[in-house]
Amino acid sequence: MVYLLEKNEDNHSAEDSPHSTSQSEESSKVDSPLHHQQKVISQTTLILPAKARVIKDRIPSLYDKRSLRLQIGDLLIVNRAESNGQCEGVLIKSNRQGTFPFTYVEFLDDENEQTNQK
């Protein structure tokens, strides 16, 4: 999965600024590489459905009937991952389907899973 954050160095337009700038200065500011920066947080391709292991316990709100209760070591099949960090999947031990934040799991590849089972 690739997550990109956009960082704007200048969040104010020329009208909002107390100091007026000429149009040529403003256009050179927009063309500069510092105006729009992108920072790559994670650059991993994730093919879904994927297997994942819970790394942090999670007790969801009583009012959220779709959220899964997670315990360290539980295995899940992740079927969908949204750009806001919410995943949808199925707990293998109970066959319960629901949602959870991706920060509570680590995705397993075949090599990682085989070494942990030995």
pTM: 0.56
Q: What is the pLDDT of residues 14-54, one digit of tens each?
A: 444 444 444 544 444 455 454 444 444 445 677 889 999 99
pLDDT digits (tens, 9 = 90+) for 55-71: 999 999 999 999 999 99
The confidence score (pLDDT) of residue 51 equals: 96
Among candidate residues 60, 90, 50, 85, the one with its CA nearest the CA of residue 74? 90
Q: What are phi and psi of 108, to 5 degrees?
A: -105, 140
Contact between 87 and 80 under an 8 Å Cβ cutoff? The reply is yes
Structural domain spans, the chain: 2-43, 50-117
CA gap 11, 7 in Å, rounded: 9
The CATH architecture annotation of domain 50-117 reads Roll (2.30)
